[in-house]
Amino acid sequence: MRIVEVHIEGFGKLVGRHFHFGPGLNLMLGGNETGKSTLHRALLALLYGPEEGEDPLLESLRPWQDPAFHAGSITCVFDNGQGFRLARRFYPPVQATVH
């Protein structure tokens, strides 16, 4: 499985951001406080969802601009060419949908 695209509607300092990933190794480069760790946490939260006991972490990553809008989606493709888009909303009511 390969991550193709990530759309962050709101996660920490990342708001309305699209990230595209090519085949092979993709590097995230940037200075301090540019959102590299936030993107990493967003990828994990989008793929695996919130777990019990993780509420403080997700709470700390609410969007800075609009705390009520905490969501995103991730698009993945398998080796056979089939793929899916998983969208998650982290604010109540928490929701996940697969397209």
Q: What local confidence, expressed as pLDDT, does residue 96 receive? A: 92
Residue 81 has pLDDT above 70, yes or no: yes
Residue 62 has pLDDT above 60, yes or no: yes
Contacts 24+ apart (CB under 8 A), 71-74: 71/9, 71/10, 71/11, 72/6, 72/7, 72/8, 72/9, 72/10, 72/11, 72/42, 72/46, 73/6, 73/7, 73/9, 73/46, 74/3, 74/5, 74/6, 74/7, 74/43, 74/46, 74/47
Looking at every residue in the chain, the average pLDDT score rounds to: 86
Interval 47-76 mean pLDDT: 73
Query: The domain 2-98 belongs to what CATH superfamily?
Result: P-loop containing nucleotide triphosphate hydrolases (3.40.50.300)
Interval 87-99 mean pLDDT: 87
**Higher model confidence: residue 57 or residue 98?**
98
